[in-house]
Copies of this chain bind each other. A is one copy, B any other.
Amino acid sequence: GRPLVLIAGPCVIEEQGLTLRIAEYLKELTAKLGIGLVFKASYDKANRTSISSFRGPGMAQGLEILARIRREFEVPVLSDIHDISQISAAAEVLDILQIPAFLSRQTDLLVAAAATGKVVNVKKGQFLAPWDMANAVKKIEEAGNTQVLLTERGASFGYNNLVVDMRSLVVMRETGCPVVFDATHSVQLPGGAGTSSGGQRQYVGALSRAAVAVGVDALFWEVHENPDQALCDGPNSLPLGDLPAMLEQILAIDTLVKQGG
């Protein structure tokens, strides 16, 4: 196995300065640790729990900021797309088009994303079995694109809770696609805070260590300078200061496991 890649950034682009500072921090940290970085940030949160939640700067301004980060920090960028109409503009900037979990069965969206030739990262729906993702991969491959990532982000477990079935990482790897573990969204408590989703940041480290010990290709973390004031997914975002120690330990596990395998 190849060494772990970190996909990280804020949940949503809040304002340009903050977003650039986060990118710079992540770039320096991953350079020092000798691992790959993909910068992620959403420009429009299309499925917030409540209509009054902050949604982001919108596509045009958001893509501009992502393009700047890509250029200045020489880092691939990833963002999620919710609608076919967004794809061509997004594909001009992004290196990886991400299909949100709720939309992981929308054939047209998968095919349109595939047609750009960009890497497509499909998040496994909370309502899907890991073996069902083979159908998503097939939809993309039959559209002529073999660069597919699959992301685990938890499965529905009763109401307002998700569980990570670590077997899923093994099952999805059997497709031949690189597998990403999205620790941030796996610790969401969907709808659990009434008009927003709650989260359990305190389990991000444990679940990330577990996933890396099982064997994954990338970790997906949402991070923030000050998660408690983040405009989106604060309860499950990591403060930047926690990253160095967490990553160091995780990379040691990754090395061990990938030697062993």
Known A-B contacts A106-B102, A214-B206; A127 and B190 likewise in contact (beta carbons under 8 Å):
yes
Known A-B contacts A102-B106, A107-B46; A129 and B206 likewise in contact (beta carbons under 8 Å):
no
Known A-B contacts A49-B135, A51-B111, A165-B157; A256 and B252 likewise in contact (beta carbons under 8 Å):
yes
CB contact between A212 and one of B84, B108, B135, B213 (< 8 Å): that residue: B213
CB contact between A203 and one of B138, B163, B170 (< 8 Å): that residue: B170
Total A residues in contact with B, Cβ cutoff 8 Å? 67
Please determine whether B156 and A159 come into contact, CB atoms closer than 8 angstroms: no
Decide if A142 is an interface residue (CB 8 Å cutoff): yes
- Most B Cβ at <10 Å: residue of A167, A207, A212: A167
Q: Which residues of A contact B (CB under 8 A)?
A: 46-51, 55, 82-85, 102-103, 105-108, 111, 125-129, 131-132, 135, 138-139, 142-143, 155-161, 163-167, 169-170, 187, 190-191, 195, 200, 202-203, 206-207, 209-215, 245, 249, 252-253, 256-257, 260
